[in-house]
Every structure is written in structure tokens, then in C-alpha cells.
Amino acid sequence: MSAEVQQTRRAGHQDTGSLAGSMDRAIRQWLPSLLIVVAILVAWEMYVRVFDVQTWLLPAPSDIGTALYNDAGLLWRHTRVTLSEIIVGFGLALASGVLLATAIGLSRTLERAIYPFVIASQTIPIIVIAPMLLIWVGYGLAPKVIVVALISFFPIVVNMVDGLKSVDRDMVNLMRTLGANRLQVFFKVQVPTSLPYLFSGMRVAIAVSVIGAVIGEWVGSSEGLGYLMIRSKPQFLTERVFAAIAILSVMGVGLFASIGIIERFAIPWWRAARGQQTSEN
Amino acid sequence: MLTSGKTDGSSPGAQTLQPADYAIEVQLLSREMERDSQPLPVLRDVHFHVEEGEFVSIIGPSGCGKSTLLNIIAGLDSPTSGTVTLHGSQDRQRLGSVGYMQQKDLLMPWRSVMDNAILGLELQGVSRRDASDRARQHLGRFGLEGFENAYPHELSGGMRQRAAFLRTVLADQEVFLLDEPFGALDALNRTQIHQWVTGLWESMRKTIILVTHDVDEAILLSDRVYVMTARPGTMKMVQRVDLPRPRSMDVISTAEFMAMKSTLLTSIREEATEGSLP
């Protein structure tokens, strides 16, 4: 058995690589997309220069870079507003989404009663609801937070409900033979099973919540990156519009990556267990 | 047997008809399923018993309803007709009293070996500390010492199976059902684990029903071996194994063992050929 033990120990320590190793892996993972971005930027820059495109029509990447540098203070102020709308709205969506999914998972009746409304909520065009929100709750943070929450709670609920339902029947039977009741099966098997699904839903939700915040600001606001874009366009400050887009993209990618990092700490067993499954099959 | 299995045991004298030391008694149990909206008899008039502290194996051709039978005994499924009696009582809820270990280890990937092992105790309301203390006493014997904080994906197949075994043993239920729990192990690991299970059982003397398709395994571990017919499954014969205990692997080469093995294999082969007929 000692050979077996040693082998298992080694396998267990394989994934705890050194810092240099993980840096190396990160570079190798991101290098292809980085190269694509660089190639596009170079082509774009050359196109604008060769054909002498006006800045207000299509700014060159270098113009956008200059705008990012010159307007750093202004952009940062508006970035903070948009970021807080996203974080508060997403937090609201997460809390209500998890609660709703739990209720749906616990009760067939509730599922039948609530689920149609959850789906219907996604068919309402946000662009129509957003101006109404201004009338109902006024300007300020509230209507944007609500738009973000409305748009991002759907993938959270749907994914978690799917997760709660995708339990291993044999594991449920094992719990029952050990004397578990319905609630124990739910919290000790269904909820842990649903967590990887929940994180998938959160990834989708955080990406769409960036769009939600911008829509909310377009409809009516006095600050935020969406507001800045709306105001800069008629002033022909197109490079500033593009600077705001660049910041939103980076923000989206960053938030998406943060969910992955939280997932790694929250459910450390998932990645490893999944990796083993794929290597076995 | 004076009563048919279909009475519900409500008459006062019903229990005294059954020997008190039967841990499990299955009477005239049948189970019908439905396939393509046609009734499909899976089990027909299964009749057998297991004494308290006895190790009984059931072998039979694949698809003969062995797993369905265990599901019914565990309380996960209900028979179409017939009864299962646990320690003289028909009406008792068997879920929670009958331990059931399947071929899949069913370890929860989000729980450490320790937390998986104490699952049954946790559900019985034993405090985490007491449960862990109890589990720790067994870790060495189950070859899991130093692995209590490891997660299932870090373990080999054999270790995972032993962790699942530890979970079953710690739950300490009245009867253990084992559904081909060693099926996933390779030959070398199987021999080792047979030896180990024999030792474990001889020290615990728990009532065990093992479903297997390995005749050597059945004879080596059991007090009695039942052979089932092809579907619809029913008990065909029973072979008492009087080999002295403690048993070692050496018994496999004795004449007595060989004779039992050939009797059982002949009986199983008849079923295998009959079962393959249309």
C-alpha cells in the first residue's frame, strides 16, 4: 500500500505549483488573445493613418490612448460610479437569485408558481422599463442598480435551479438509507452540487451586468461611463467614447476573472474533481 | 411456514411464527416494472432469510433483479407483493436502519475523507467531535491514516472504496447490504480487500447481504450463498459454506472449496444459457 500512498501524495501536490510556474502558465494562457489585440490595434492604427480618417469619425488607437491619459481623472470618476452600480446591482441579483432558486428547489408548487414569472421577466425589454424606473424611483444610483439586478438575476436563478436538479440519484438514495430527511438531502447534497452551476450563472450575470449599467445610464443620469459616452458623442469627442468603451471592456474582463478567483477559493474541490473526471474518461 | 407473505402481520400471533433470530426475512416477494408500457416481472416469489450476524451472498446472472431486491430490502423501492421483515417487524421503516453500499463509492467530492466517513453519524445527530473521534479509531484499519483531510479526488480507487466502507461501518446500522462493492477494483486489490473484509467481519459479526457475480468471493466471505435464476429472479438454490473461520486465502485451493465452487458454477451456468434464450 505504501507505493499507492506515495503516488497519491504526489498527485495531491501536483497542482500547488510555484509562483513562477503559475505566472508562466498565466502568460501562456493569455498570450494568444494578447497577440490578437495587438494585431487588431496595429491594423486599426495603420488604416486610420493611411486613409487619413477623421478622429471624430474613427479615432486611432493612439488617439484613444492619449484620451485615456489626458482625461484619466474624469474617466476614473465616472468609472467608479459605473463600477459601484454594477457591484451593488449584481450583489442584489445574487442575493435574490439564490433565495429564489432555493425556494424553487425546495418546493414543486413554488416552482410552478414562480418560474413562469422569472422567465417572463426576461422578455420585458429593459430599454422600455428603464425610463419608467426613473419616474418610479428617481435619478441617482437606484434605477441603474435595479436595471443591473433585473438583467443579471436571470442567469443566476436558472443556473442554480438547474444545479439543484442535477443531483446524483444514487447519492440521494445513499442519504436516504442513512436516514436523511428531505431538508438534509437538500442542504447536504443538492446545494453543494448546485454551486458550480451557480458560479457559471454568476459569470454570465457579471458580463451582462456591465451592459445593464450602461443602459441604465443612457436612459437618464448625470454620471457614469454610459453618461460620459452619451455626452461626448455630440461633442465629437469620439476618442473619449472609445476610451470609455475600452475601460468597460477591461472592467468586464476583470469582473469575470474575479468570479473565477472567488470560485477557486469557495469550491476548491470542483476544479480538481472535474480535472480528474476528464482525465479518467 | 403457516402464513403467506401477503398478510400484513396485524394478527397478534403473526410475529411468533418467525424465528426471532432472523435479521431479514423476505417472503414471496415479487416486483413488476413497466417497460414500453408492458408489465415486466423482475422478481417472482423471492423467499429467503438472513440470520442475525450472518454473512450471506447472492449470485445470479446479470439482469436477474439482484439490485432491485437490495433496493426493496433497503426501503428505497416497494415490492408489488410479498413482505420484507427486519428483526421480526414488517411495519418498520427500513430507511435509516439498513446500510447500503453500492459499487459506486458515492463519496461527496466537496467533503474530506473524514467528513465523508462521518456522514451517517452526522445524520444521526452525533456531534462532529464525537463522530471524528470514532472515525479516527478506524482510520488505521481502513488504510486511511494521514488522509483524513484529503479530498476523494486525491485518493486511489481502492482508498476511495475503503473510505466508503468506513462510512458504512461507522453508520453502524442493523444490516449491511453490499451491491458488488468490489466490482470496480482490479484482481490484486480484490484479493487484498477480501482478506481484509473477512477479518473485519469476523471481528464485527454484522449481518451482511452481499450481491456479487464472483463465485470465489461469495464462498470465501459467506456463511451461505444463494443462487438466483434469470429474470424474473427468484432463489434457485442455497449452498451452506462450512469452511472454518478465520479463513485465509489458502482455502481457495482446498477440495471442499473446489466442490462448492463447481456446484455453484454449474447452477449459475444453467441460468446464463436459459437467460440468453429469447
Q: What per-residue confidence (pLDDT) applies to A18?
A: 63
Q: Exposed, middle or buried, A207 (CB in 10 Å: 0-12/13-18/19+)?
A: middle
Q: Do B155 and A267 touch (CB under 8 A)?
A: no
Q: What per-residue confidence (pLDDT) applies to A210?
A: 94
Q: What per-residue confidence (pLDDT) applies to B10?
A: 41
Q: Do A174 and B100 touch (CB under 8 A)?
A: yes
Q: Do B106 and A168 touch (CB under 8 A)?
A: yes
Closest chain B residue to A181 measured between Cα atoms?
B123
| 3-state SS track over A161-186 | HHHHHCCCHHHHHHHHHCCCCHHHHH
Residues of A in contact with B154 (CB under 8 A): 8, 11-12, 272
Q: Which of B98, B109, B158 sits opposite A4 (nearest CB)?
A: B158
Q: How many CB atoms lie within 10 A of CB A243?
A: 28
Residues of A in contact with B109 (CB under 8 A): 269-270, 273
Distance of CA A253 to the CA centre of its chain: 8
Q: Which amino acid is at A126?
A: I
Scan for cell 495587438, then name that residue.
Answer: A38
Q: Do A178 and B96 touch (CB under 8 A)?
A: yes
A114-119 LR contacts (CB < 8 Å, sep 24+): A115/A161, A118/A154, A118/A157, A118/A158
Residues of A in contact with B146 (CB under 8 A): 5
| Most B-contacting residue of A10, A177, A198 (CB-CB within 10 A), to test interface | A177
Q: How close B48 comes to chain A (CA, Å)?
A: 22
Q: What is the pLDDT of residues B202-222, one digit of tens each?
A: 888 889 999 988 898 899 889
Q: Do B102 and A272 touch (CB under 8 A)?
A: no
Closest chain A residue to B143 measured between Cα atoms?
A1
* Residues ≥6 apart with Cβ < 8 Å to B123: A175, A178, A179, A180, A184
Q: What is the mean pLDDT of residues B141-146?
A: 86
Q: Which of A1, A170, A276 sits opposite B153 (nearest CB)?
A: A276
Q: How many CB atoms lie within 10 A of CB B133?
A: 12
Residue B5 binned pLDDT confidence (cut-offs 50, 70, 90): very low
Q: Which of A168, A179, A269 sits opposite B123 (nearest CB)?
A: A179
Residue B36 binned pLDDT confidence (cut-offs 50, 70, 90): confident
pLDDT, averaged across chain B: 84
User: Cβ(B200)–Cβ(B162) under 8 Å?
Assistant: no
Q: How close B109 comes to chain A (CA, Å)?
A: 6
d(CA B205, CA B219): 17
Q: Exposed, middle or buried, A239 (CB in 10 Å: 0-12/13-18/19+)?
A: buried
d(CA A80, CA A63): 23
Q: Which of B99, B102, B110 sits opposite A170 (nearest CB)?
A: B102
Q: What is the mean pLDDT of residues B12-21?
A: 50
Q: How close A138 comes to chain B (CA, Å)?
A: 45
3-class DSSP assignment, residue A114: helix
Q: What is the pLDDT of residues B176-193, one digit of tens each?
A: 999 988 776 666 677 777
Q: What per-residue confidence (pLDDT) applies to B3?
A: 38
Residues of A in contact with B76 (CB under 8 A): 173, 176-177
Q: What per-residue confidence (pLDDT) applies to A98?
A: 96
- Among B229, B258, B174, B220, smallest CA distance to B46 is for B229
Q: Do A4 and B110 touch (CB under 8 A)?
A: no
Q: What is the pLDDT of residues B102-119, one digit of tens each?
A: 888 999 999 999 999 999
Q: What per-residue confidence (pLDDT) applies to B19?
A: 57
Q: What is the pLDDT of residues B57-97, one digit of tens each?
A: 999 887 788 889 999 999 999 899 988 988 888 777 888 88
Q: What per-residue confidence (pLDDT) applies to B278?
A: 41
Q: What per-residue confidence (pLDDT) applies to B252?
A: 84
Q: What per-residue confidence (pLDDT) applies to A276?
A: 57
Q: What per-residue confidence (pLDDT) applies to A27?
A: 81
What residues are paired with B81 via a beta bridge? Answer: B30
Q: Do A180 and B171 touch (CB under 8 A)?
A: no
Interfacial B residues in 44-83 facing A (CB < 8 Å)? 71, 74-76
Q: What is the mean pLDDT of residues B169-173?
A: 89
Residues of B in contact with A4 (CB under 8 A): 156, 158-159
For the four alpha carbons of A92, A93, A94 and A100, in that order, the dihedral sign comes to: positive
Task: Give chain A's residues under pLDDT 50.
Answer: 1-16, 278-281
User: Cβ(A246)–Cβ(A59) under 8 Å?
Assistant: no
